[in-house]
Structure 1
Amino acid sequence: MSSEWNSSVSRTNWEVNREVVLQDEGTVLLNNGKAIHEGDNNDEEDNADLFSFDYDEEVVISIDLSAGKFGCSILDYHTKSLRVLNKDYVVNKSTITSHDLIDEVDPSANDISMLTGLLIMEVNPTVCLVPVRLEDWIFEYIKTKCNEIHCRLELLPINCFKKWSPLQSLQLKGHDNLIILNDLLSNSRFTTTVTLGTVACILVNHEQHAQLDEGNDSTVSNNIIRGRQTKSLYEDVIHNIGYIDIKDRMVLDENAMSALNIFPTAHKLGHDKMMKNGFLSIFELFNQVSSDYAKRMLKSWLFNPLTNREQIEKRYSIIRTLLDRQNAIIFNDLTQSIKRCPDAFGFINQLRSGKSTLRTWSKVAGFLEKGIAIFKLVSSLKLSSDEGNILHDIKNKVDLSALKECLRKVETVIDFDTSKDTKTLTINTGVDKRLDECRNIYNHLEKILLEVARETQGFLLNVLHQTNRRITKNLEKLVNAIYIPQLGYLVTVSTLLEPFLVNTPDLEWEEIFRSSDNIYFKNEKVLELDETYGDIYGAISDYEIEVLFSLQEQILRMKNQLTAYNILLSELEILVSFAQVSAERNYVEPQLVENDCILDIVNGRHALYETFLSNYIPNSTIIDGGLFSELSWRKHNKERIIIVTGANSSGKSVYLTQNGLIVYLAQIGCFVPAERAKIGIVDKILTRIRTQETLYKTQSSFLLDSQQMAKSLSLATERSLILVDEYGKGTDILDGPSLFGSIMVNMAMSERCPRIIACTHFHELFNENVITEHIQGIKHYCTDILISQNYNHIDPVQNKEDHESEGITFLFKIKKGISKQSFGIYCAKVCGLNKSIVRRAEELSNLINRGDDVVQHCGKLTEKEMQEFQKNQEIVKKFLSWDLDLETSTTSENLRLKLKNLLR
């Protein structure tokens, strides 16, 4: 380790928050709010696991924010790929949270925090590297995100972000890799300064870990095959370099992902059939992939919906091809063949590191077999004329003959059937003549050793014949010949014969070692065997290693083709999953438009809720806001805002998330649950639906809701979609409606108004001069209900008979118009609230609806209360007129009786 890395770290207060780090020349690791410094000698055993580093599975992300620019790079040790931003992201300083307002404003309500959170959630890193000079607001945000996914956060000195020499010394193969690397280095002074600093930090971090591990003896498998190690420090770490492309991605923050249930937030409980067949998240719905790499790719796709129409429609074309009736049989076969395809990155990493086992080679053979079968199926598909999708890439770019040749070599060399029985890697007969000869000798070694043992027994029988007849009779059990790898061939003699052997003349045997029962000798005969056959087991092992190493080198020479094909197969597996769900759930291909602010969905359905119901009731949505570039859209009677009203529990929230999910599914490249859909491409989905309350957030629910609302309005553009569910319900009856109404009217007057779907129970807003049905830019939907003839919704108290079946039937249909009632009391009634409470609530509601003075009404005494009052007055009068002075001689018992009669 360099002396610079070992130098001490001065620090001030490390408790809950990071404050100051001076002389930042060492690494500081944060774990559960505690700081651990490299060079500290205390609690070494407890902290040892923090410095462990897996060179096959780690995912390292490096983040920096400097001089108003954001940089990021990611190194995946599993795929040996480095990804970087194609240019530094310029910070919008107006959205950066002030240090003075850090406790008052949501720190995630800006572009940098959203981008950082998105990258961390997508990559799911195991190590996060940041500079010690990082500003507190972004540091705290990164720290929170890392704690959520149990990622190790490391603070590195600023010097690590300035050491570009490792980056300049990278030796990458391939034309594309060299082009990207040269482009990054040539633009370093202008557009990629901060990003290149993050790359340098990752490389320096790798160098430090390599130096820490240098010279340490590691425990390795007996099956390790090692070749010559003459490569540079980074050659085995980075094979490919690519860009983190954020230009063509839809942005979803954690609020939107939680509200839309993109990833699981709950677990299925019980054995209900409905729960068994239903899905609680989009990831579960599409998680029909089997390989680990495909699962990681699926998560990446779900984190990053596309905004590039051409890229999205390429995915549509593949689903369309797979679902073509002419391809039905092939599609079924392909669905089965692509399952459980091994991960090429995994077995190539094992081959490169020398850790190949029987399982490794089984994966190699399995991948090649699956790859050949899938290639043949894809080649049999009737493809459309669309060029450039992965089906054409598989058909035209994959070398089938090379795959077959690889598989032939693997199956020729390795005997998988015998290997499975013996649980050791076995080489086939006929691969290497020298190996076959050694095996033949080894297989006949028992006979050879038996012959040597008999000759030895005969020799000793002649020598000891006159000594002890009892011993000579059991000589076969006392003398033997064995072979021990590395020690060679030996004669074993029981220790019972040692006294007789000492007195034997001309016994030129060399004792090698002894145990409690036997003595192991070398005599002339076994020395001949050593000379003739040598260490036969060692020779077999050497020849097997040589054969496997040769095969390993042949496979590794094809690593680029195999990993490229692995990526194609993973993409195909995801799209096969999309196609399966689309076919099973009757999804349709949406129409995407780039310039129109439109959301036209006919009979749309909720992608998750419909999996729990046999008959889901669909709903349509139409938002036509003109062109995105049209600033005077309101003057042309266009509408970009929908306000939904209606009864409680009538499906408003489901309607919101249903539309959000249809847009989301369309832009991940999947068909959508609807009869027809036309969607103007969305750049962000922003939500105020679910209050994100946790133990570590001490803010009130309304404050958290307001932060979400402010964030949505701040980040939205005319291409965005905002979903709002009952904002304002957490405060008083004046402020809540005022805020909601002000937001809707203000956004309707904005030239850059996004598409907004909002629902509310603030019916007082829909009076004259507030939000009328004719206000420009806003259209009104309400949920439809069926009211029973026996249910008097004007005065429910008049219902003399109380039947549970009477009241409201929710139709779960959306229609144009405004609902003036929420029927909250009825909802509480059917939920089981006490009938007397419901009856009193209905009385008060009726008074308010009639405009009566509730306070005055509640202050009046009932007839029963008046009678009780008069009765009590009489009692008080009698008690006050009772002269207790006359009762001095009355016994206590008589006084008690008189008082009792008085109170009656």
Structure 2
Amino acid sequence: MTKTIVKRGVTELVTPGVSFNDDILQSKSNNFLAAVFLGKKTNGITFLDVSTGEFLTAEGNEEYIDKLLQNFRPSEVLVSKQQKANFKDSFGEDFHVFYLEDWIYKEDYAFESLTKHFQTNSLKGFGVDDFNEAIITSGAILYYLSETQHNKIQHITNIQRIAEDAYVWMDRFTIRNLELYHSYNPNAVTLIDVIDKTLSPMGSRLLKRWLALPLKDINKIKGRHEVVAYLKDNSEELKQIQYQIKQISDLERLISKVATGKISPREVIYLKDSLDAIIPIKTLALASKNEALKTIGDSLHACELLREKIGTTLNPDAPVAINKGNAIATGVNPELDELRTISSTGKGYLEALEKRESEATGIPSLKISFNNVFGYYIEVRNTHKDKVPTEWIRKQTLVNAERYITEELKEYESKILGAEDKISQLENMLYEQLVNWMATYIKPVQLNANLVAQIDCLQSFAQMAIDNKYVQPEINDSFELDIKEGRHPVIEKQLPVGTPYISNDVFLDRETQQLIMITGPNMSGKSAILRQTALIVLLAQMGSFVPAEKVRMGVVDKIFTRVGASDNISMGESTFMVEMNETASILNNISDRSLVLLDEIGRGTSTYDGISIAWAIAEYLHEHPSKAKTLFATHYHELNEMEAIFDRVQNFNVSVKELKDTVLFIRKLVKGGSEHSFGIHVAKMAGMPQTVIQKAQKILKKLEKDHSGEALNGIKAEKDEMQLSFFNLDNPLLEDIKEDINSLDINTLTPVEALMKLNELKKMLLKK
């Protein structure tokens, strides 16, 4: 074998955001590559899943870009080198970022890249012609694909604009607080875990998109509800549709592999089988009595020629790789069929030829053999060489025999020896021709994938409604939110079997009950009521039925939550600072259709600071012209006084029943404020030492008797009790020390003077 230099080159770069590898990709999740550009007036962002061809772009302020980054969670983000610091300041360091040269982020370059790719003169047909910053980020993505050697991208057939005003606004805090996709607890169940009853990878990915972008258009919301209601009420059709969807593979990623030429023969069969399963779905949809389903059925492409071509070209059991052989069906190519016949029947052919020549020549000992020097030959012993026909060609003389070849034998030899190689070459050529021809069906197959994904999401909603007894919400253009017997969709699924979920009513409007002040003990379920209200609204505007007895609501345009808190140490922010940042974002963005959910505002600071801040925030929400619907959960019972001062503030509490030394949490929201937090009971339930519990109970009784705190003087540590070392907060001596410290100018104080002052304060305390 001759030694030659084998040329090797980089054919493709795999990056976190650009991959077709099934071992890397998750079937139920998109693998988005994102590009971000921070403009002077607005910002641009684009997402691409190269494995599916989904190309989405948007513009907006930093909060909107942040929201999209949180929802779409790209695996990789492209940023201009010039904007490296700005990106980190605005969006943190949680993303895998790749920095590109600044010249790539130019509108002219991006516009040219996009129009060249889509083979158009403008971008008006995509609705992004006035999206300058979005065009820039879209161009950056195309550049990155080219640089990573991904040039076969004809499956990117469209660029879709994410219209900010078409979907419900949720900031990053709300997305996190409601635990839509992820939780701080890795073992926690999230909303998507509960609502995802999709049966196809495309459906699961689309459901996440619907959750990220709930609708605001009443007609579109009602359209989804009507399909869900129809499927829920027609269980036989639902079962048939579900059965067919289960037969469908990942059409989006399969057709993307066609575009890139990376699809295997077996995957082509999967593609055909999936398209075959769409035909019954199309028939069922067209025959349904629901107009939206009929429209989907009418739009589904039968792809008859594609299915027929695959069926006649490939064997049904085609291998996972073309080089495994036997991918192309019999009858497609006569030469291939002949070569296969030669390859599979070679031994029989030689035996037949040997017999025929023996009979024709009368040489009984004639035999056909093979060696690497001469190939196939006919061997005749010397006793019979006078019978050899003249057309035979002598190739070798031995002591007792001679070897000959014939034209027929040499012709067969060339066929049989080259058959395997030729079979492989022919199969590769025919398969490549098929895949190239299939690429003309990229758009119809992508359309089918999207329509099947829609049906899958809607059947998922219908199945969830059946399984969990969800009801169809009534959506209107009012400003009311009226939930009867609402339930938390996630918590109710985690309860032990047979344990009923305590449902609750919530009513909010702009006239009489705009702000509900919810008080009640810790662990009573205040936070759950807040979250379930948001999740019910969210599900309703996704197009799903909801966990309640009845829901009547006007469309909500923004959902804000301030529920739970955590330190943001990496950014140098305390729990209280995080809380104030989140709350400030809410107050600066509320509208007349906003839903605001605030939980324990002000708990990260001192009691009086906390009460003051919480009161001021509640008053701001009440007095703001938007009159945003608000649930305000708090342990500050002083806020109950707001009901008497402000017309649209109503007090509610989550009820409990006190039984001797314990508390039974009823978890029912009832009218009126609560005066107790039952914190000591919660501490007892948590396993706090008995001495701590007893001491806390004594202090509580004294404090309740005299709010000034002077009653603490009467509490002395008894034997076997823990010693309280705190001195009276209202002691005059401490006030003097406090004033003394406050009057110090530490900038002018020398180290010696500081030590002397410290010693003076110490003596004052010792005199006490």
Q: TM-score range by the shorter chain?
A: 0.7 to 0.9
**CA deviation string 1:784-824 (max 9, x = no partner):** 22233xx3xxxxxxxxxxxxxx5332211111101111111
> 1-side partners of 2:374 and 2:443: how far apart?
44
Query: Which of residues 640, 657, 660 in structure 1 aligns to 2:534?
Result: 660
Change (3 A) 1:623 1:123: closer
Q: Which residue of structure 1 lines up, in the alignment, with residue 183 of structure 2?
A: 265
Q: Which residue of structure 2 lines up, in the alignment, with residue 394 of structure 1?
A: 296
Verify the 8 A CA contact 2:643 2:649 in the aligned structure 1: no
Q: Which residue of structure 2 lines up, in the alignment, with residue 170 of structure 1?
A: 116
**CA deviation string 1:853-900 (max 9, x = no partner):** 6545535769999xxxxxxxxxxxxxxxxxxxxxxxxxxxxxxxxxxx
Q: Which residue of structure 1 lines up, in the alignment, with residue 314 of structure 2?
A: 414
Query: Which of residues 492, 502, 506 in structure 2 aligns to 1:610?
Result: 492
Structure 2 residue matching 1:158: 3-state secondary structure = helix
Structure 1 letter corresponding to 2:296: I
Q: Which residue of structure 1 lines up, in the alignment, with residue 654 of structure 2?
A: 783
Change (3 A) 1:545 1:158: closer
Verify the 8 A CA contact 2:155 2:255 in the aligned structure 1: no
Pairs within 5 Å for 1:37-116: 54=19, 59-85=32-58, 89=60, 112-116=61-65
Verify the 8 A CA contact 1:728 1:737 in the aligned structure 2: yes
| 1:600 is the counterpart of 2:600 | no
Verify the 8 A CA contact 1:127 1:154 in the aligned structure 2: no
Structure 1 letter corresponding to 2:687: G
Q: Which residue of structure 2 lines up, in the alignment, with residue 438 of structure 1?
A: 339
TM-aligned CA deviation for residue 688 of structure 1: 1.2
Q: Which residue of structure 2 lines up, in the alignment, with residue 794 of structure 1?
A: none
TM-aligned CA deviation for residue 368 of structure 1: 1.6
TM-aligned CA deviation for residue 204 of structure 1: 3.1
Structure 1 letter corresponding to 2:649: I
Change (3 A) 1:579 1:136: same
**CA deviation string 1:654-678 (max 9, x = no partner):** 1111111111111111111111112
Query: Which of residues 234, 241, 259 in structure 2 aligns to 1:334?
Result: 241
Query: Which of residues 148, 158, 164 in structure 1 aligns to 2:103?
Result: 158
Q: Which residue of structure 1 lines up, in the alignment, with residue 585 of structure 2?
A: 711
Verify the 8 A CA contact 1:691 1:705 in the aligned structure 2: yes
> 2-side partners of 1:237 and 1:862: how far apart?
77
Structure 1 residue matching 2:134: 3-state secondary structure = helix
Higher alpha-carbon Rg? 1
Change (3 A) 1:446 1:763: same
Structure 2 residue matching 1:198: 3-state secondary structure = helix
**CA deviation string 1:707-746 (max 9, x = no partner):** 1111221222222111111111121121111111111122
Q: Which residue of structure 1 lines up, in the alignment, with residue 384 of structure 2?
A: none
Verify the 8 A CA contact 1:170 1:234 in the aligned structure 2: no
Verify the 8 A CA contact 2:57 2:162 in the aligned structure 1: yes
Structure 1 letter corresponding to 2:440: R
> 2-side partners of 1:522 and 1:747: how far apart?
105
Query: Which of residues 141, 148, 157 in structure 2 aligns to 1:202?
Result: 141
Structure 2 residue matching 1:764: 3-state secondary structure = helix
Q: Which residue of structure 2 lines up, in the alignment, with residue 581 of structure 1?
A: 464
Structure 2 letter corresponding to 1:606: H
| 1:382 is the counterpart of 2:289 | yes
| 1:849 is the counterpart of 2:704 | yes
Pairs within 5 Å for 1:440-589: 440-449=341-350, 480-481=369-370, 508=395, 527-530=410-413, 535-589=418-472
Structure 1 residue matching 2:480: 3-state secondary structure = strand
TM-aligned CA deviation for residue 452 of structure 1: 8.2
Query: Which of residues 204, 208, 213 in structure 2 aligns to 1:304?
Result: 213
Structure 2 residue matching 1:734: 3-state secondary structure = helix
**CA deviation string 1:477-520 (max 9, x = no partner):** xx95279xxx9955799xxxxxxxxxxxx98469xxxxxxxxxx
> 2-side partners of 1:490 and 1:735: how far apart?
101
> 1-side partners of 2:182 and 2:331: how far apart?
53
TM-aligned CA deviation for residue 839 of structure 1: 1.8
Structure 2 residue matching 1:782: 3-state secondary structure = strand
> 1-side partners of 2:655 and 2:226: how far apart?
38
Q: Which residue of structure 2 lines up, in the alignment, with residue 858 of structure 1?
A: 713
Change (3 A) 1:454 1:71: same
> 1-side partners of 2:92 and 2:451: how far apart?
35
**CA deviation string 1:342-376 (max 9, x = no partner):** 12232223233333323212211221222123223
TM-aligned CA deviation for residue 578 of structure 1: 1.0
TM-score when scaled to structure 1?
0.67
Structure 2 residue matching 1:71: 3-state secondary structure = strand
Pairs within 5 Å for 1:500-899: 508=395, 527-530=410-413, 535-594=418-477, 596-613=478-495, 614-626=499-511, 638-693=512-567, 696-767=570-641, 771-773=642-644, 775-788=646-659, 791=660, 806-851=661-706, 854-855=709-710, 858-859=713-714
Verify the 8 A CA contact 2:269 2:310 in the aligned structure 1: no
Structure 1 residue matching 2:509: 3-state secondary structure = strand
Structure 2 letter corresponding to 1:426: A
Structure 2 residue matching 1:557: 3-state secondary structure = helix
Structure 2 residue matching 1:240: 3-state secondary structure = coil
> 2-side partners of 1:522 and 1:650: how far apart?
100
Change (3 A) 1:535 1:677: same
Verify the 8 A CA contact 1:289 1:573 in the aligned structure 2: yes
Structure 1 residue matching 2:713: 3-state secondary structure = helix
TM-score when scaled to structure 2?
0.79
Structure 2 letter corresponding to 1:429: T
Q: Which residue of structure 2 lines up, in the alignment, with residue 247 of structure 1?
A: 165
Structural RMSD (CA) = 3.8
**CA deviation string 1:68-101 (max 9, x = no partner):** 122233333223343334xx54xxxxxxxxxxxx
Structure 1 letter corresponding to 2:250: D
Change (3 A) 1:482 1:296: farther
Structure 2 letter corresponding to 1:602: K
Verify the 8 A CA contact 1:172 1:235 in the aligned structure 2: no
> 1-side partners of 2:702 and 2:610: how far apart?
23
Verify the 8 A CA contact 1:258 1:690 in the aligned structure 2: no
Change (3 A) 1:59 1:820: closer
TM-aligned CA deviation for residue 679 of structure 1: 1.7
Q: Which residue of structure 1 lines up, in the alignment, with residue 255 of structure 2?
A: 348
TM-aligned CA deviation for residue 420 of structure 1: 8.8
Unmatched 5+ stretches in structure 1: 1-44, 90-111, 214-232, 270-278, 463-471, 494-505, 511-520, 627-637, 792-805, 866-904
> 1-side partners of 2:535 and 2:156: how far apart?
37
Q: Which residue of structure 1 lines up, in the alignment, with residue 3 of structure 2?
A: none
**Percent identity over paired residues:** 23
Q: Which residue of structure 2 lines up, in the alignment, with residue 127 of structure 1?
A: 76
Verify the 8 A CA contact 1:605 1:616 in the aligned structure 2: yes
Structure 2 residue matching 1:625: 3-state secondary structure = coil
**CA deviation string 1:6-34 (max 9, x = no partner):** xxxxxxxxxxxxxxxxxxxxxxxxxxxxx
Change (3 A) 1:159 1:523: same
Q: Which residue of structure 2 lines up, in the alignment, with residue 117 of structure 1?
A: 66
Structure 1 letter corresponding to 2:73: N
Change (3 A) 1:773 1:359: farther
Structure 1 residue matching 2:116: 3-state secondary structure = coil
TM-aligned CA deviation for residue 399 of structure 1: 4.1
Change (3 A) 1:266 1:330: farther
TM-aligned CA deviation for residue 543 of structure 1: 4.1
Unmatched 5+ stretches in structure 2: 1-9, 26-30, 380-392, 398-402, 721-768
Change (3 A) 1:721 1:538: same
